[in-house]
Amino acid sequence: MKYIIIGGDAAGMSAAMQIVRNSEGNEIVTYEKGETYSYGQCGLPYTINGIVDSTDDLIARTPETFQEKYGIKTHTLHEVTKVDCEKKMVYGTNHHTGEGFEDQYDRLLVATGASPNCPPWEGIESEGIFTLKTIPDAEEIMNYINEDVQNVTIIGGGYIGLEMAETLCDIGKNVQIIERGERLAKIFDEDMSELIHEQAEKQNVKLTFKESVEGFKTNDNGRVRCVVTDQGEHPSDLVIIAVGVTPNTSFLQGTGIFTSVHGAIEVNTYMESTIKDIYAAGDCATQYHRVKQRPDYIPLGTHANKQGRVAGLNMINIPTPFKGIVGSSIIKFFDAALGKTGLSEHEAEAIHFPYTSVTIDSNHAAGYYSKDNPMKVKLVYNDHTRVLLGAQIIGGEGVDKRIDVIATALYHSMTVDELVDLDLSYAPPFNSVWDPIQQAARRA
Q: Could you tell me the sign of the dihedral formed by the alpha carbons of 82, 87, 88, 91, in that order?
A: negative
The Cα 340–Cα 329 span in angstroms is 5
Q: Is 442 helix (H, G, I), strand (E, B) or coil?
A: helix
Distance (Å) of CA 263 to CA 8, 74, 240, 259, 307: 20, 27, 24, 5, 18
Residues designated as active site: 42
Listed in order, strand segments (DSSP E) in 299-373 are 329-333, 336-342, 356-363
Length of the chain: 444
* Cβ contact 48:172 at 8 Å: no
The Cα 96–Cα 79 span in angstroms is 10
Please choose, from the candidates 310, 312, 185, the residue with its C-alpha nearest in 3D space to the C-alpha of residue 242: 185
* Cβ contact 261:255 at 8 Å: no
- The set of residues, in sequence order, having a beta carbon less than 8 Å from that of 164 and lying 6+ positions away, is 45, 48, 132, 154, 240, 242
* Cβ contact 284:108 at 8 Å: no
* DSSP code per residue over 330-346: EEEETTEEEEEEE--HH
- Per residue in 194-206, is it b (16+ CB within 10 Å) or e — as a string? ebbbebbeeeebe
Please choose, from the candidates 380, 397, 402, the residue with its C-alpha nearest in 3D space to the C-alpha of residue 389: 380
The Cα 180–Cα 236 span in angstroms is 17
